[in-house]
């Protein structure tokens, strides 16, 4: 089992997108990349802790590659928007990849470079590429939020 951690705006839709993929064992939403221990949703939403809303993905690498996860990550949000996704604004909604190994870092960096060179995007990719940080589990009511609400879509 391997771990990947992504920030792509509001974590509800991002989790929903990953949770349906064959080879994903589990997803959890939470917070990473900030300076406050065990932050609450309210603290993170204040945009004062430095955390991003993230999804931690546990996956079976014999069924699903990290490259495939990166493709889902970039499909599910606009990586050219700085510190926002749609109506959600603030650093907590930034686009970021928290890599767990040098291989993950290398694959993500190569894909970002390829996307920027392709000319297909309206602006350069602003996705941050950072070493995996402490993952703080979000409150229970955020876990599988769309599933609990009966929503079947990627929110971006």
User: Of the listed 10, 45, 76, 154, which one is catalytic?
Assistant: 10
Whether 10 is catalytic: yes
In angstroms, rounded to a whole number, what is the distance separating the alpha carbons of residues 5 and 11? 11
Question: Mind telling me the catalytic residues?
Answer: 10
């Amino acid at each position: 089992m391997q771990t990947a951690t992504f920030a792509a705006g509001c974590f509800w839709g991002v989790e929903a997108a990953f949770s349906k993929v064959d080879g994903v064992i589990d997803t959890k939403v939470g917070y990473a990349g900030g300076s406050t221990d065990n932050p609450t949703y309210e603290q993170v939403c204040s945009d004062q802790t430095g955390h991003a809303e993230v999804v931690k993905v546990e996956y079976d690498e014999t069924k699903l590659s990290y490259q495939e996860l990166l493709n889902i990550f970039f499909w599910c949000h606009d990586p050219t928007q700085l510190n926002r996704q749609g109506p959600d604004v603030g650093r907590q909604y930034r686009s970021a990849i928290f890599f767990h190994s040098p291989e993950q870092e290398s694959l993500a960096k190569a894909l970002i470079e390829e996307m920027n060179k392709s000319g297909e995007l309206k602006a350069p990719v602003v996705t941050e590429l950072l070493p995996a940080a402490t993952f703080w589990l979000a409150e229970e009511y955020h876990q599988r939020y769309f599933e609990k609400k009966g929503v079947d879509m990627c929110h971006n």
